[in-house]
């Protein structure tokens, strides 16, 4: 199981939200590059980098942060937040991003995802399935849809998707534990899927439980920043 620490960006700064609420923003570090270097120094290889400004605006905003982290660390970056067209995807890959997370476009223009899978490869495209009450949410979680998570995933797996990041919005930033039952349900329905769990991780025990059910990766955010999980612990789990 891959351990993937998260950096969320607003105004070029490292922040965390609670349940995706932009009014519940807490700044943890003015310099995201320093945070990424701390992760790397602890032995962590992967990084989940989200442009929250971009997610809200519908277009990537924090290009300088992406470039700075990519050029100053050797971390394997997956990036999300506002990606909407080919030129943005290509620019991200040219900057050294390994995978792109696609959410809103997948709902509004699913054929575009098929194009990107064919053009860049299935290993480069991660479907971002953000859920609230098992329905998909988009636009930086500002909009709900009536699309069930299982229907959403079935459709895109048939279209060639192999990697999915699933964030349970109700647990995100709450430090109350991940929605294990949701991830079990997804893996039971789609055992071939590379599922990355996101939202609610509060302690090392949560990570052990997620590993046991067979997720491909787990994103850890607020638990790191609030000192619930030490980077040394994550580094040891990553080896």
pLDDT value for 139: 55
Decide: helix, strand or coil at residue 171: coil
What pLDDT score does 132 carry?
86
Quick one: pLDDT band at residue 170, thresholds 50, 70, 90? confident
pLDDT tens figures, 42-73? 999 999 999 999 988 999 999 999 999 999 99
Pair 101, 123: CB distance under 8 Å: no
pLDDT by residue (tens digit) across 175-206? 899 999 999 999 999 999 999 999 999 999 99
The Cα 113–Cα 108 span in angstroms is: 10
Sorted by where each starts, the structural domains of the chain and their CATH numbers stand as 2-238 (3.20.20.70)
DSSP 91: H
Q: For residue 49, what are the contacts with CB-CB under 8 A and spacing of at least 6?
A: 6, 7, 9, 32, 65, 66, 69, 77, 78, 79, 80, 97
Q: Would you please indicate which residues are annotated as catalytic (active-site) residues? A: 8, 130
Q: How many CB atoms lie within 10 A of CB 188?
A: 10
Q: Helices (H) and strands (E) in the chain — how many of each?
A: 11, 12
pLDDT band at 166 (very low <50, low <70, confident <90, very high): very high
Output DSSP code: residue 229.
S
pTM above 0.85, yes or no: yes
The pLDDT of residue 141 = 52
Q: Rounded mean pLDDT of 130-155?
A: 79
């Amino acid at each position: 199981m891959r351990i993937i620490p998260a950096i969320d960006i607003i105004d070029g700064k490292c922040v965390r939200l609670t349940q995706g609420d932009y009014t519940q923003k807490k700044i943890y570090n003015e310099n995201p590059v320093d945070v990424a270097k701390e992760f790397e120094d602890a032995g962590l290889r992967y990084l989940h980098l989200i442009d929250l400004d971009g997610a809200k605006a519908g277009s990537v905003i924090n290009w300088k942060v992406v470039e700075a982290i990519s050029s100053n660390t050797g971390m394997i970056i997956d990036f999300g937040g506002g990606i909407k067209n080919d030129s943005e995807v290509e620019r991200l890959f040219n900057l050294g991003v390994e995978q792109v997370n696609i959410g809103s476009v997948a709902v509004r223009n699913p054929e575009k995802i098929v194009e990107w899978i064919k053009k860049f490869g299935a290993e480069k495209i991660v479907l971002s399935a953000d859920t609230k009450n098992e329905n998909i949410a988009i636009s930086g979680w500002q909009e709900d849809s009536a699309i069930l998570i299982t229907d959403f995933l079935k459709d895109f797996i048939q279209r060639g998707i192999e990697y999915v990041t699933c964030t349970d919005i109700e647990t995100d930033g709450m430090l109350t534990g991940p929605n294990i039952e949701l991830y079990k349900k997804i893996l039971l329905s789609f055992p071939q899927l590379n599922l990355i769990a996101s939202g609610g991780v509060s302690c090392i025990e949560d990570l052990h439980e997620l590993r046991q059910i067979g997720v491909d990766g787990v994103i850890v955010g607020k638990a790191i920043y609030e000192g619930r999980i030490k980077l040394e612990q994550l580094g040891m789990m990553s080896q």
